[in-house]
Amino acid sequence: MTTLERLRSNLAALNLTAIDARLETLLENASKQDPAYADFLLEVMSTEADARRQRYLKTRLQLAHLPYVKTFEQFDFGFQPSIDERQIRELRTLRFVHEASNVILLGPPGVGKTHLAVALAETAIQSGQAAYFMTAHDLVTDLGHAYREGRLDRRLRIYLAPKVLIIDEMGYLPLDELGATIFFQLVSARYERGSIILTSNKSYGEWGSIFGDPIIATAILDRLLHHSTTVNIRGESYRLKERRKAGLIPRPEQQHDDSRAVAPSGRAKRTG
């Protein structure tokens, strides 16, 4: 066996696939650049370590069940001036994850609540934390099934395990009594133990109508908000802007507060 063959067989035995894949390049560069022994060894080991880290992050990202992957770099803060960028910078440090405090993103449809929630989750995953994304509706449906089958406690553990739980679209659909009770249990169980990133199109004042019962709404808000940051987005839908750019909807005559949600298409047509 040549040295190269023995090297390959050792790499295979140790499952060092990334080094194996780059072996020729690594050796060629080394012969050209004549690096110090330690530098060469470092480059070889980093090849494997970096590849493993990438694989691990990819797995974490898949396990997080995100609806799409979007980052802060892809977010146009200029379009959404109601967002305090300093507050977002603070959130990006992930201190809230280490403190097990919550992030609540409020605002009308299309203003970037899910985008920001996903970007925070992605940041947490990059830093080695586990995250899990679920819509409020799917979450409560899933736990409702578990409850009826007498395995709520076991099922809850899935939503307690990740350091960051994203609950998207709270309030689009009202919860029934069981749903509200289950939601309360989840929020209580994660309280001071793991972060929740929650998005909602309803202001806190309207939460009573989500849960049907103002007492349980208060109890939930109490735990959710005790350690929390609220990001209140009052602005125009980004989706609407994109459609407007495509010429599907005419530009409004003047800037107006669009926080009441999207203008009905009939009116939009007339103003153009």
**Positions that interact with ligand ADP (CB under 6 A):** 70, 74-76, 79-80, 107, 109-115, 199, 238-239
Site for Mg ion in 217-236 (CB under 5 A): none
Residue 70, binding choice from Mg ion, ligand ADP, none, Cβ under 5 to 8 Å by partner class: ligand ADP
Residue nearest to Mg ion (CB): 114
Paired with 135 in beta bridges are: 168
Residue 238, binding choice from Mg ion, ligand ADP, none, Cβ under 5 to 8 Å by partner class: ligand ADP
- b vs e for 194-212, b when ≥16 Cβ sit within 10 Å of the residue's Cβ? bbbbbbbbeeeeebbebbe
Q: How far is the CB of 57 from ligand ADP (least distance, A)?
A: 21
CB 231 within 8 A of CB 81: no
Output DSSP code: residue 169: E
Residue 80, binding choice from ligand ADP, Mg ion, none, Cβ under 5 to 8 Å by partner class: ligand ADP
Binding range to Mg ion, per CB under 5 A, among 55-63, 72-80, 114-122, 134-142: 114-122
Cα gap 272→181, rounded to integer Å: 48
Given the complex with ligand ADP, which of 48 and 168 has the nearer CB atom? 168
Assign residue 33 a region: left if phi > 0, alpha if psi is -120 to 50, beta otherwise? alpha
Given the complex with Mg ion, which of 114 and 237 has the nearer CB atom? 114
Structure tokens that stand for 156 in this block: 């809850």
Given the complex with ligand ADP, which of 114 and 129 has the nearer CB atom? 114
Does position 114 interact with Mg ion (CB under 5 A)? The reply is yes
Determine the 3-state secondary structure of 166 from DSSP. Answer: strand
Given the complex with Mg ion, which of 98 and 239 has the nearer CB atom? 239
Given the complex with ligand ADP, which of 112 and 162 has the nearer CB atom? 112
Select from 271, 106, 117 the least CA-distant residue to 202. 106
Q: How far is the CB of 71 from Mg ion (least distance, A)?
A: 16
Q: How far is the CB of 169 from Mg ion (least distance, A)?
A: 6
Given the complex with ligand ADP, which of 12 and 69 has the nearer CB atom? 69
Q: How far is the CB of 198 from ligand ADP (least distance, A)?
A: 12
Positions of E strands within the chain:
102-106, 131-135, 164-170, 195-200, 228-232
Burial (CB count within 10 angstroms: exposed 0-12, middle 13-18, buried 19+), residue 245: exposed
Q: How far is the CB of 80 from ligand ADP (least distance, A)?
A: 5
Q: What does the CA dihedral 81, 83, 86, 89 come to, rounded to 10 degrees?
A: -120
What residues make contact with Mg ion under the rule CB under 5 A? Answer: 114
